[in-house]
Chain A
Amino acid sequence: AQTVTQSQPEMSVQEAETVTLSCTYDTSESDYYLFWYKQPPSRQMILVIRQEAYKQQNATENRFSVNFQKAAKSFSLKISDSQLGDAAMYFCAYFSSSGTYKYIFGTGTRLKVLA
């Protein structure tokens, strides 16, 4: 069975600085997607970034980028120029298109942004 691990329950970053959130996963499949979701205090889940496993190039969305290491099964999220609005829970999620079509979520990392 697939698993997703987020080993950092909480992280802090100074405003305008860069922070990296870690995520590792375990799977025997070759075709899958990985996601980072943000859940602010409103609790609305917001898609931050998506990575297709077949793509070698790391996904980037403005200040958000990932470091996807398929062999190491690692999928970290880098947030550059951190802003106060980035403070939230961040969840890493795995989806297999050849499996059950369900997301498997990590336990989450709470990001605090210090002014």
Chain B
Amino acid sequence: GAVVSQHPSWVICKSGTSVKIECRSLDFQATTMFWYRQFPKQSLMLMATSNEGSKATYEQGVEKDKFLINHASLTLSTLTVTSAHPEDSSFYICSATRTESSYEQYFGPGTRLTVT
């Protein structure tokens, strides 16, 4: 149990366009979802925390207007990269926690974004 999926797994988009990444908890209701960004050979950098039905809390330095996060239901959160530029190319990972175990995050497989 506790499976998190992400879609798409890999996306290529042109500079200036927007791209949406979905994160779903498949077999549990996610109290909280997290979005991370990971550069090659580096650690995970937390971008934002989202709770269902409320606005996401962004980490310092993360542009909330560029990285729009919507947590529409207890099983779905989306990250939209608006007006993408090549420097937004990265690996994006989501995770989710269950109500009964807020200390444990279940990670999605990640999405590789390439902006050309």
Tell me, yes or no, whether B70 is within 8 Å of chain A by CB: no
B32 and A101 contacting across the interface, CB-CB below 8 Å: yes
B104 and A43 contacting across the interface, CB-CB below 8 Å: no
**Neighbour of A108 across the interface among B34, B43, B49, B102, CB < 8 A:** B43
Q: In the complex where A107-B42, A107-B43 touch, is A101 in contact with B110 (Cβ < 8 A)?
A: no
Interface string of B49-91 (1 = CB under 8 A from A): 1000000000000000000000000000000000000000001
Tell me, yes or no, whether A47 is within 8 Å of chain B by CB: yes
Cα of A102 to Cα of B44 in the assembled complex, Å: 12
B93 partner residues in chain A, CB cutoff 8 A: 43, 45
- The minimal Cβ–Cβ distance linking A32 to chain B, given in whole angstroms, is 9
Closest Cβ neighbor of A37 among chain B residues: B107
Q: Tell me if A's interface is mostly helix, strand, loop or mixed.
A: loop
- A-B CB contacts (within 8 Å), total count: 43
Cα of A37 to Cα of B104 in the assembled complex, Å: 11
Q: A57-100: which residues lie under 8 A (CB-CB) from chain B?
A: 91, 95, 97, 100
A42 partner residues in chain B, CB cutoff 8 A: 109
B43 and A106 contacting across the interface, CB-CB below 8 Å: yes
Tell me, yes or no, whether A56 is within 8 Å of chain B by CB: no
Closest Cβ neighbor of A96 among chain B residues: B103
Task: Name the residue in A100, A102, A106 with the highest tally of chain B Cβ atoms < 10 Å from its Cβ.
Answer: A102
Tell me, yes or no, whether B115 is within 8 Å of chain A by CB: no
Size bracket of the B interface: 20 to 34
Tell me, yes or no, whether B19 is within 8 Å of chain A by CB: no
Closest Cβ neighbor of A4 among chain B residues: B43
B95 partner residues in chain A, CB cutoff 8 A: 45
B110 and A43 contacting across the interface, CB-CB below 8 Å: yes
Cα of A106 to Cα of B43 in the assembled complex, Å: 7
Cα of A47 to Cα of B2 in the assembled complex, Å: 12
* B interface, CB within 8 angstroms of A: 32, 34, 38, 41-44, 46, 49, 91, 93, 95, 97, 102-105, 107, 109-110
Q: List 20 A-B contacts (CB under 8 A).
A: A33-B103, A42-B109, A43-B38, A43-B91, A43-B109, A44-B107, A45-B93, A45-B95, A47-B104, A95-B103, A97-B102, A101-B32, A101-B49, A101-B102, A103-B44, A103-B105, A105-B44, A107-B43, A108-B42, A108-B43
